[in-house]
């Protein structure tokens, strides 16, 4: 009574199994994430070359430390330089240490902030020009998807991130797909300075171009997606006792090398990535009787994998 096309190829490890590979000191094999890769996509990752992957810069990596483990984010300064810099300032001032996750909205997002509003923001800015979108720049790689989008004239991937574009206005913006990191704000466009980060855990495309996205989860999304949902209408918890404690946030570069989580992300400007997308659009014959022939931008999850850390001398 097998119920899925994927069971046959269970051999490929996923992030949950990487710890073992890590402990043995070997380089982990490809990890499509715990999500919906087709069997074909998994095969492509398994056969990928080292050059199909890129390391994540420790200076652009954030850790969210929860009691349940570590969530790892890659930041996107190429899309939101001011907000990336300001969020890192807050992190380095230990602004988030001891704060809590105050909101988990089912099929939408989870968010953390200082619900007392009393924590000092130190040298970080508390108002910043919005970076909801940016001009398309010739030097930025872009791999378009062929099947269109309900929300934007064009969608694709740039540097590992889901991106929408409007060729008429020469504008681009990051897309609210699963696992994206954004910054909550009040009504003012300039108010999303970084004090209220959120992660997309569902369908949140209606937020596109309404807040600054500045990164994505590359390991540990399940620590956020499995959290109890907040009982209030938009997922806020009623009582502080229900909040989920945050031990700390850190810039990976500030963490001793042996305590880091080294991650590689699938490059999105390669033939391998194109084949990976195609395997989602048209999976190999077998279980699929009617391949979709299409894929939406949030239906492509950019793979990431843990690798053995360099041993400190």
Site for a copy of itself, residues 35 to 64, rule: CB under 8 A = 35-38, 42
CA distance 263 to 74: 9
Binding segment (CB under 8 A) for a copy of itself, from list 49-57, 219-227, 248-256, 262-270: 219-227
| DSSP string computed for 277-289 | HHHHHSPPBTTBS
Query: Taking CB under 8 A as the rule, which mask of x and - marks residues 62-91 in contact with a copy of itself?
Result: ------------------------------
Q: Least distance to a copy of itself from the beta carbon of 142, Å?
A: 18
Give whichever of 74 and 222 is closer to a copy of itself, judged by the CB atom: 222
Q: Least distance to a copy of itself from the beta carbon of 57, Å?
A: 25
Binding segment (CB under 8 A) for a copy of itself, from list 70-78, 81-89, 257-265, 289-297: 289-297
Figure out which of the listed residues 88, 103, 250, 305 binds a copy of itself, where binding follows CB under 8 A.
103
Binding segment (CB under 8 A) for a copy of itself, from list 58-66, 73-81, 136-144, 228-236: 228-236
Interaction between residue 165 and a copy of itself (CB under 8 A): no
Figure out which of the listed residues 144, 231, 240, 245 binds a copy of itself, where binding follows CB under 8 A.
231
Figure out which of the listed residues 248, 255, 292, 308 binds a copy of itself, where binding follows CB under 8 A.
292
Longest CA–CA span in the chain (Å) reads: 59
Interaction between residue 159 and a copy of itself (CB under 8 A): no
Query: Taking CB under 8 A as the rule, which mask of x and - marks residues 242-281 in contact with a copy of itself?
Result: --------------------------------------x-
Question: Total number of residues binding a copy of itself (CB under 8 A)?
Answer: 85
Site for a copy of itself, residues 117 to 146, rule: CB under 8 A = 117, 132
Give whichever of 156 and 184 is closer to a copy of itself, judged by the CB atom: 184
Give whichever of 289 and 311 is closer to a copy of itself, judged by the CB atom: 289
Q: Least distance to a copy of itself from the beta carbon of 283, Å?
A: 7
Tell me the CA end-to-end span of the chain in Å, nearest whole number.
52
């Amino acid at each position: 009574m097998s119920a899925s096309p994927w069971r046959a190829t269970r051999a490929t490890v996923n992030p949950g199994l990487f710890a073992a590979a890590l402990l043995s000191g070997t380089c982990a094999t490809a990890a499509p994430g715990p999500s919906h890769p087709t069997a074909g996509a998994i095969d492509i990752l398994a056969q990928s070359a080292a050059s199909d992957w890129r390391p994540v810069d420790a200076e652009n990596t954030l850790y969210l430390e929860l009691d349940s483990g570590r969530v790892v984010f890659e930041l996107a300064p190429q899309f939101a330089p001011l907000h990336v810099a300001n969020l890192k300032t807050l992190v380095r001032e230990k602004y988030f240490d001891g704060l809590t996750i105050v909101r988990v909205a089912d099929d939408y997002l989870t968010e953390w902030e200082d619900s007392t509003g009393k924590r000092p923001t130190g040298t970080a800015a508390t108002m910043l020009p919005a970076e909801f979108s940016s001009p398309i720049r010739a030097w930025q790689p872009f791999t378009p998807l062929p099947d269109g989008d309900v929300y934007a004239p064009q969608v694709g991937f740039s540097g590992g991130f889901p991106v929408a574009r409007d060729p008429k206005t020469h504008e681009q913006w990051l897309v609210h797909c699963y696992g994206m990191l954004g910054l909550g704000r009040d009504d003012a466009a300039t108010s999303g300075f970084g004090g209220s980060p959120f992660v997309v855990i569902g369908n949140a495309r209606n937020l596109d171009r309404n807040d600054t996205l500045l990164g994505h989860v590359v390991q540990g999304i399940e620590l956020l997606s499995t959290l109890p949902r907040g009982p209030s209408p938009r997922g806020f918890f009623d009582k502080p006792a229900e909040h989920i404690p945050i031990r700390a946030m850190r810039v990976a570069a500030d963490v001793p090398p042996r305590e880091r989580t080294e991650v590689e992300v699938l490059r999105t400007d390669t033939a391998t990535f194109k084949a990976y997308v195609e395997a989602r659009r048209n999976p190999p014959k077998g279980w699929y009787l009617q391949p979709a022939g299409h894929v939406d931008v949030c239906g492509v999850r950019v793979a990431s994998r843990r690798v053995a850390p360099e041993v400190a001398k």
